[in-house]
Amino acid sequence: MSWLAKYLTPDEFCDSIYDIDPYRLAGQGWKVVYLDIDNTLLPFGAERPTLKCQQWVMELRGAGLFPLILSNNRYPSRVEQVAQVFDIPAVCWALKPFPWALRAVQAEFGLRGKPSVLIGDQVLTDVILGKTQGFYTILVKPIRLDNKPSKALQFQFEQMLLRFFGVTQPAH
């Protein structure tokens, strides 16, 4: 595997967040969970997380993990609205895969160096950030792409990249 493939390969592939058991993550010793919003927790444009999604985030907290949102969405109102429902901290316009916003929020909450998980749906933003930071990185399938042509195109491109670098999704 080339050095580049290492940064494109998530530690785990999941169909959705609901395949991720918060208690399993806690049992493995992880402490912090960085969450993407768009197409990971909610589809693009959806204003309120479903009850099921809220319960899953509550379970993260119940398991003793520290969840927070790290979103590249540029609209603070949307990100804050979602974060308020979950009652967890949130960073918008995070510029993933660059680590600047991550560093700021790590400093604010004393998270630097704590064993961390990053969950997102995009390779070029979420996975690269997670892998370059040494986080346990979980790639979920985008919730829906039919309402956002640019993201559908990016998804196709990312899939092509993964194939090119020989990154394969293990069967499970």
CB of 40 to Mg ion, least distance (A): 5
Q: Two tokens at 20?
A: 């991720």
Q: Which is nearer to Mg ion, 38 or 158 (CB)?
A: 38
- Amino acid at site 154: Q
Helix (H, G, I), strand (E, B) or coil at 161: helix
For the segment 75-134, give every residue that binds Mg ion (CB under 5 A).
121
Query: Could you say whether residue 39 binds Mg ion (CB under 5 A)?
Result: yes
Give the span between the Cα atoms of 36 and 44, in whole angstroms. Answer: 12
Q: Which is nearer to Mg ion, 35 or 111 (CB)?
A: 35
Contact pick of 10, 25, 32, 38 for Mg ion (by CB under 5 A): 38
Q: How many CA atoms lie within 13 A of 59 on its CB side?
A: 15
CB of 71 to Mg ion, least distance (A): 8
Contact pick of 22, 34, 36, 83 for Mg ion (by CB under 5 A): 36
Burial of 94 (0-12, 13-18, 19+ CB in 10 A): buried
> In Å, how far are 2, 42, 120 from 51, measured between CA atoms?
42, 11, 20
Query: Could you say whether residue 158 binds Mg ion (CB under 5 A)?
Result: no
Q: Which is nearer to Mg ion, 15 or 107 (CB)?
A: 15
Residues contributing to the site for Mg ion (CB under 5 A): 36, 38-39, 121
